[in-house]
Amino acid sequence: MIQLENVSKSYKNGVHALRNINLTIEDGEFVYIIGPTGSGKSTLIKLLDGEEIPDEGDVIVNDVNVGKLKHSKVPYYRRNIGVVFQDFRLLPALTIFENISFALEVIGMDKRDIRRRVREVLELVSLSDKARAFPNQLSGGQQQRATIGRAIANHPKVLIADEPTGNLDPEMSKEIMELLEKINTVEQTTVVMVTHDSTLVNDFKKRTISLEEGYIVADMMKGGYLKYD
Ligand SMILES: Nc1ncnc2c1ncn2[C@@H]1O[C@H](COP(=O)(O)OP(=O)(O)OP(=O)(O)O)[C@@H](O)[C@H]1O
């Protein structure tokens, strides 16, 4: 479960990025975070993955009070959440198989378990036939599927996606949404997705949290309607 209680965050330049946010996301939910540029969406994501610390309030993810973690504990905390960004961030010199297995090697998983899990993940993200390919031999959509595979390889309870379709055309964006829905259902991963993509928000209805100037201005359980880009 994700819980934000009276969370405020401002930056050194005096910008109040988030103001008194109260929010609960239950295990297994799929939630969009929407809002105009500068409304605080990325700041919210950064609080969830421990990149930023709230000025006030508590950010609790799977019983961990993220804002109170010691700096040295943040990497361990991050092992239990998957994060996907707009740019794919695959390691160019490694194959797709190696990119995913690398993520499991660094956390010390047994070699045989790694091979089994990477094969399973490649199947889940429909890239079994690209295991030996390098990132630059894949389309943008395929690279993003590989990134998502890498992010969920360790069975995180929460997957955070910051504009995962930002660099993709509509057809590939739809594929990514279908994949995220599959992960949400098959792996029961909670998905929190920041997006500007009005077509996705309108076509794939999900709980939609709308931010404006650092405030939650709407929380639509049956999906929102996004009218701005
Ligand atoms: N590191 C920082 N230092 C100072 N101000 C920042 C920093 N990061 C973000 N801000 C400011 O905080 C506010 C919220 O930014 P944030 O990136 O969370 O918005 P956003 O909704 O993700 O925007 P976008 O859709 O453009 O990505 C903005 O006014 C932004 O300029």
pLDDT in tens, 193-208: 999 888 899 999 999 9
Atom of ligand 1 nearest to the CA of 196: 25
Residue 227 is assigned to a structural domain of this protein:
no
Give pTM, 2 decimals.
Answer: 0.92
Tell whether ligand 1 has an atom less than 6 A from the beta carbon of residue 13: yes
- Cα angle for residues 169, 171, 173 (degrees, 5° grid): 65
Q: Could you tell me the distance, in angstroms and rounded to a whole number, from the CA of residue 10 to the centre of ligand 1?
A: 10
Does the pLDDT at position 228 exceed 60? no
Tell whether ligand 1 has an atom less than 6 A from the beta carbon of residue 43: yes
Residue 87 is assigned to a structural domain of this protein:
yes
Mean pLDDT computed over 151-155: 95
Residue 216 is assigned to a structural domain of this protein:
yes
Does the pLDDT at position 92 exceed 90? yes
Tell whether ligand 1 has an atom less than 6 A from the beta carbon of residue 40: yes
Q: What is the pLDDT of residue 226?
A: 59
Residue 21 is assigned to a structural domain of this protein:
yes
Q: Could you tell me the distance, in angstroms and rounded to a whole number, from the CA of residue 190 to the centre of ligand 1?
A: 24
The DSSP string of 117-170 is: HHHHHHHHTT-GGGTT--GGGS-HHHHHHHHHHHHHTT--SEEEEESTTTTS-H
CATH assignment at residue 50:
3.40.50.300
Q: What gap in Å lies between CA 114 and CA 217, rounded to an integer?
A: 43
Judge contact between 107 and 134, C-beta under 8 A.
Answer: no
**Beta carbons within 8 Å of 73's beta carbon, 6+ residues apart:** none
Residue 226 is assigned to a structural domain of this protein:
no
Residue 225 is assigned to a structural domain of this protein:
no
Judge contact between 97 and 122, C-beta under 8 A.
Answer: yes
Residue 99 is assigned to a structural domain of this protein:
yes
Judge contact between 142 and 162, C-beta under 8 A.
Answer: no
Q: CA torsion 77→134→141→190, rounded to 10°?
A: -20
* ipTM topping 0.95: yes
Atom of ligand 1 nearest to the CA of 44: 18
Residue 146 is assigned to a structural domain of this protein:
yes
What would you report as the CA-atom Rg of the chain, rounded to the nearest whole angstrom? 17
Does the pLDDT at position 229 exceed 60? no
42 three-state secondary structure = helix
Structural domain total, the chain: 1
Q: What is the pLDDT of residue 86?
A: 84
Q: What is the pLDDT of residue 225?
A: 63
pLDDT in tens, 54-77: 999 999 999 999 999 998 999 889
Which domain, by its residues, includes 128?
2-220
